Amino acid sequence: MVTPVIGLIGGSGLYDIEGLEGREWRRVASPWGEPSDELLFGTLAGVRCVFLPRHGRGHRIPPSELNYRANIDVLKRAGCTDVLSLSAVGSLNGDLPPGTFVIPDQFIDRTFARKKSFFESGCVAHVSMAHPLCPRLGDALEAGCRDLGLKHHRGGTYLVMEGPQFSTKAESELYRAWGCDVIGMTNMPEAKLAREAELCYATVAMVTDFDCWHPDHDHVTVEAVVRVLLANAENAKNLVRAVVPAVGAPRGPCPAGCDRALDAAIVTQPPYRDPALVAKLDAVAGRVLGGA
């Protein structure tokens, strides 16, 4: 049986989680560099939780400069088994207005300036990303939204752009033609790295505004966006408090196999593996690499 430890990644407007007992901010070192911030350790309804503000407290780090590898690595080192990611997004779908919580099941990765894998020359691996989000965690998030009466939508495609600038109108229309539902800047390569680290991962994409395709976009003020952002953040904290007890109960292996993603992924044969890289992979891939 697995005793879950829930990792929480807070996006824009979420720099702390109130209600944690035994709160302690603690630095966790990573061989992949500096993570966004210290980790906040504590328990919620008896479940061990670890919170990381994605952009750092005070929102200091832009999307392209986040050290995604270090962020996922320190959560793994902290013992996390499951990760709930919270992020602010724009809507590409007229049926998903500001204030909607979207629980996507797919991503399109349009980022290009980020380190996207823990596996480099000296230890090559290829994990499956056909289904990039853990359906078990998605079920729990959907149930939590329903129980709290939050406007929500299960399923959909989250397009991840590089940023930090927002889309041109032509780009926004292109992404809508592709069938994308929301757009943000942070869930890739975060989800890919979580899969490589064999962490169950799911996202709550919190809509703050319509992207620039919408005819009324020009009428949306910064004040209105901030107002939705803050309301979303408060609802997200309530959602975390509702969902953590459900996903924190002892369980068996992940039915989707998230926790066994590396079983057949590593292709570099043991005699050819770079010992220095293998040492850096101790937390992420120690289960399958062992002392190789």
Q: Residue 253 belongs to a domain with what CATH number? A: 3.40.50.1580
Within-domain flag for 290: no
Residue 260, in any domain of the structure = yes
On whether the CB atoms of residues 183 and 93 are closer than 8 A, the answer is no
Nearest to 91 by CA among 9, 157, 143: 157
Catalytic residue status for 139? no
Q: What tens digit of pLDDT does each residue of 7-50 get?
A: 999 987 888 888 899 999 999 999 999 999 999 999 999 999 99
**Structural domain includes residue 84:** yes
- Catalytic residue check, 209: yes
Condensed to tens digits (0 to 9), the pLDDT of residues 129-180 reads 999 999 999 999 999 999 999 999 999 999 999 999 888 889 999 999 999 9
- Please report the pLDDT score of residue 227 as a whole number: 79
The active-site residue, picked from 37, 73, 82, 209, is 209
- pTM, two decimal places: 0.95
Give the separation between CA 248 and CA 131, rounded to whole angstroms.
Answer: 22
Within-domain flag for 292? no
Domains held by the chain: number: 1
- 75 belongs to a structural domain: yes
**Torsion (CA) 187, 189, 193, 194 in degrees, nearest 10:** 10
Instruction: Kindly name the residue from 37, 211, 216, 263 that is annotated as catalytic.
Output: 211
Look at residue 291 and tell me if it is in a domain: no
> Residue 268 domain-assigned?
yes
Give the range of the structural domain holding residue 114, as residue numbers without chain letter: 6-284
Q: What is the mean pLDDT of residues 106-114?
A: 98
User: What mean pLDDT value characterizes the chain?
Assistant: 94
Q: Is residue 278 part of a domain?
A: yes
Q: Looking at residue 49, what is its pLDDT?
A: 98
